[in-house]
Structure formats: C-alpha cells, structure tokens
C-alpha cells in the first residue's frame, strides 16, 4: 500500500512532464498501482479537475499563451 501523497505526486509528475505510464522513474510507486488509482478518479469525473489544476492545464486556463505581435 502506498500513501496517497506519493500517488498524487506521481500523477502530477506524469501530467507535468507528459511521460508514459510505464516510463515512470523508480522513485515513484509502481505505475500499475498509480494507474488504477487514476482510473478510479477518471471514472468518477475527477481526473479533468486535477489536470486543469496543475501543470500545463493551469497556464492555458488563465490565458498564459502568448499572443502574436501585430505589425
């Protein structure tokens, strides 16, 4: 059994770095345990909220994209 903090850190790392599930560093819990936890979130509609609140999703949601300079 792994603590929820370690699982959340692993999911945050995955979202932020865009790595594949099986390519997770050995410092994190096993990918299949983390994926099972994430899948339960996804099935309950919580995964989108997590993704929007961290990593790439948060900058885009606040208008973090640069606009083109007009000539």
pTM: 0.56
| CA distances for 32 relative to 36, 39, 53, 56, 66, angstroms | 6, 10, 23, 23, 37
pLDDT tens string, the chain, 71 residues long: the values are: 678 889 889 888 988 888 888 888 888 999 999 999 888 888 877 666 555 555 444 444 445 555 555 55
Let me know if residue 70 belongs to a domain: no
* Domain membership of residue 36 as a residue range: 4-54
Q: What does DSSP assign to residue 56? A: H
Domain assignment present for residue 62? The answer is no
On whether the CB atoms of residues 52 and 15 are closer than 8 A, the answer is no
How far apart are alpha carbons 28 and 3 in whole angstroms?
Answer: 11
Tally of structural domains, the chain: 1
Residue found by looking up tokens 């993704």 in the block: 51
């Amino acid at each position: 059994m792994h603590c929820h903090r370690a699982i959340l850190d692993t999911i945050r790392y995955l979202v932020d770095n865009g790595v594949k599930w099986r390519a997770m560093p050995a410092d994190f819990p096993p990918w299949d345990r983390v994926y099972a936890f994430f899948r339960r979130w996804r099935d309950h509609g919580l995964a989108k909220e997590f993704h929007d609140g961290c990593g790439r999703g948060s900058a885009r949601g606040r208008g973090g994209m640069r606009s083109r300079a007009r000539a």
